[in-house]
Amino acid sequence: MTVRLAFGIVLLCACGRLSAAPDGGTSLEAGTDAEATCPPATWSSFQDDSKWASVDVSAFSAAKGPFGGAAFDGKYVYFIPTWFGGVAPADTVAARYDTSGALGSSTAWQTFDLATIAPNSAFLGAAYDGRYLYVVGDAAILRHDAQSASGFADPSGWAQFDVTTSLGPALGGFVGAVFDGRWMYFVPGSDNGGYLDVVRYDTSSPFEDAGSWSAFNVANGYSAHGFAGGAFDGRYVYFAPSRDAMQVDGDVVRYDTTADFSTQSSWQEFDLTTVDPGAKGFFGAAFDGRRLYLVPFSDGILNGTEDGIVAAYDTTAPFSSASAWATFDVSMAMSGAQGFLGATFDGRYVYLVPSEWNGGTVVRFDTMGPLTSSASWQGYDCTATCGVHGYLDAVFDGRYVYFAPNTDAVVRRFDARSPACLPPRWNASFL
């Protein structure tokens, strides 16, 4: 089972349907393509220190971190440098790990300085469409051909598209991306003077042609103030509500990919604070085949207001129905579990990525259990084995979950399941 999600991109596998479990969770239905494709899994204990490993990429490469995005292309895991949090000034060197090599082997790693082709850009997020890696910039979107014979470090294998120059100066400031099987959606980070434009690219068309791109201003008609990441459920693209410079909100927006992108009726909004006043200020999302999960980060503007309220939506129920939504404060199940940046799904568990303000508690949710039961949640205190590190985004490669470091260059990895399995269409963001 596979996937990637996180605050930006979501890479989930098309591996079968999920159904309601007797205890209120979800479980794979017997006889589905997923079961036929993937053998039964043995899931690792979250508390088993031997299942965790780390590597300091800066010890043998030019990549110094912090990173703020991760993606998997079937062989390589990519870690994207970022401006978000971490150290200053931000590094611009991206790192790529060959999953067929040892994690700690320098020969398994390659780097590329993104400033070579985009010297004035900052980055936050990554996505993969089946052939190309997309690096999400504040204005410039970069694309790397993963099949390029020239390799990762050759600028000829890279291209860029400047959104502000080609589509409008008010566009940009993206926080992650979501792929729906054809279109790549770039998530607007905040309301910019009345502009909150979702930008999308038709991956079947020329990358550097402005005609391949379009935008829709979500701020025109809705009360959302900014987003951070999103997810795709097979029909709808969801944008995780976050904040702008002045306000944090819980207004989740979704787009119906079967309808016209530029038509207002193709879009819907739901205010999560009507379900739970604390359900706002998210950073990232994940989809498990039935439920959409929004990742809790901060319910206030200033640091020190991090929270742990996860919101989950049953995608089989009406979007505007309050009963389709549920919330759970993870910090009630484990002390200090709040302030997360991104998530990923391994076929059974949803992992919440601890930020530098979290204190080092990685959390996972067993989707076979009820959301609101503390027994469905597990925490792993990373401080004992890896010190106090912050992370931003995570990615699953079929066996391991990788955490992208946001305070240094120490990549953390958890051996989640065996045997490893990547079902068909794993690079698309739907099950």
More confident residue, 235 or 304: 235
For position 194, what pLDDT does the model report? 75
For position 384, what pLDDT does the model report? 65
More confident residue, 382 or 112: 112
Average pLDDT for 264-284 = 95
Average pLDDT for 398-425 = 89
Q: Which amino acid is at 400?
A: Y
Mapped onto helix, strand or coil, the DSSP state of residue 199 is strand
402, with CB counted inside 10 A (0-12, 13-18, 19+), is buried
Model confidence pLDDT, tens digit, residues 173-201: 899 999 999 999 999 998 777 789 999 99
Which position has the token pair 């997810």? 231
By mean pLDDT, which of 22-26, 43-47, 58-62, 112-116 is the weakest?
22-26
Backbone angles phi, psi at 253, to 5 degrees: -120, 145
What single DSSP character describes residue 300?
S
Which position has the token pair 């025109």? 220
The per-residue DSSP string of 20-77 comes to E-TTSSEEEPTTSHHHHHSPPPEEPPTT-GGGEEEEEGGGTSS----EEEEEE-SSEE
**Residue 214 near residue 197 (C-beta atoms within 8 A):** no
Q: Which amino acid is at 322?
A: A
123-128/132-137 β-pairing: antiparallel
pLDDT band at 85 (very low <50, low <70, confident <90, very high): low
Which H helix or E strand runs over 163?
A: helix 163-166
Q: How many residues in the chain? A: 431
Model confidence pLDDT, tens digit, residues 233-261: 999 999 999 987 678 889 999 999 999 99
Domain boundaries, the chain: 3-418
Rounded to an integer, what distance in angstroms lies between the CA atom of residue 285 and that of residue 253?
A: 12
For position 77, what pLDDT does the model report? 97
Does the pLDDT of residue 264 top 80, yes or no?
A: yes
The per-residue DSSP string of 311-359 comes to EEEETTS-TT-GGGEEEEEGGGTSTT---EEEEEE-SSEEEEEE-TTTT
338's tokens: 């709040």
Q: Does the domain spanning 3-418 belong to CATH 2.40.50.140?
A: no
- SS3 annotation, 219-240: CCCCCCCCEEEEEECCCEEEEE
pLDDT band at 4 (very low <50, low <70, confident <90, very high): very low
pLDDT band at 404 (very low <50, low <70, confident <90, very high): very high
Which position has the token pair 């207004």? 251
For position 163, what pLDDT does the model report? 94
For position 6, what pLDDT does the model report? 40
Does the pLDDT of residue 20 top 50, yes or no?
A: no
What single DSSP character describes residue 303?
T
pLDDT band at 90 (very low <50, low <70, confident <90, very high): low
More confident residue, 83 or 186: 186
Could you tell me the CA-to-CA distances from 231 to 160, 185, 274, 374 in Å, in that order? 24, 10, 22, 25
Could you tell me the CA-to-CA distances from 340 to 7, 169, 178, 386 in Å, in that order? 10, 31, 19, 18
Rounded to an integer, what distance in angstroms lies between the CA atom of residue 46 and that of residue 52?
A: 9
Q: Record the pTM.
A: 0.90
Does the pLDDT of residue 19 top 50, yes or no?
A: no
- Calculate what percentage of the chain has a pLDDT beyond 90: 67
Q: How many whole angstroms from its chain centre is CA 40?
A: 26
For position 11, what pLDDT does the model report? 38
Could you tell me the CA-to-CA distances from 214 to 10, 23, 179, 184 in Å, in that order? 21, 43, 15, 11
Could you tell me the CA-to-CA distances from 317 to 228, 290, 311, 320, 386 in Å, in that order? 24, 10, 15, 9, 41
Residues 6+ positions from 1 with CB-CB distance below 8 Å: 13, 15, 34, 38, 41, 345, 346, 347, 348, 417, 421, 423
Rounded to an integer, what distance in angstroms lies between the CA atom of residue 79 and that of residue 85?
A: 16
136, with CB counted inside 10 A (0-12, 13-18, 19+), is buried
- Calculate what percentage of the chain has a pLDDT beyond 70: 85
Does the pLDDT of residue 400 top 90, yes or no?
A: yes
For position 341, what pLDDT does the model report? 93
pLDDT band at 305 (very low <50, low <70, confident <90, very high): confident
For position 23, what pLDDT does the model report? 35
By mean pLDDT, which of 12-16, 109-113, 172-176, 366-370 is the weakest?
12-16
Rounded to an integer, what distance in angstroms lies between the CA atom of residue 327 and that of residue 305?
A: 18
Does the pLDDT of residue 89 top 80, yes or no?
A: no
Average pLDDT for 386-394 = 79
- Beta bridge partners, 400, equal 415
What single DSSP character describes residue 193?
T
For position 18, what pLDDT does the model report? 32
By mean pLDDT, which of 13-27, 131-145, 161-175, 402-416 is the weakest?
13-27
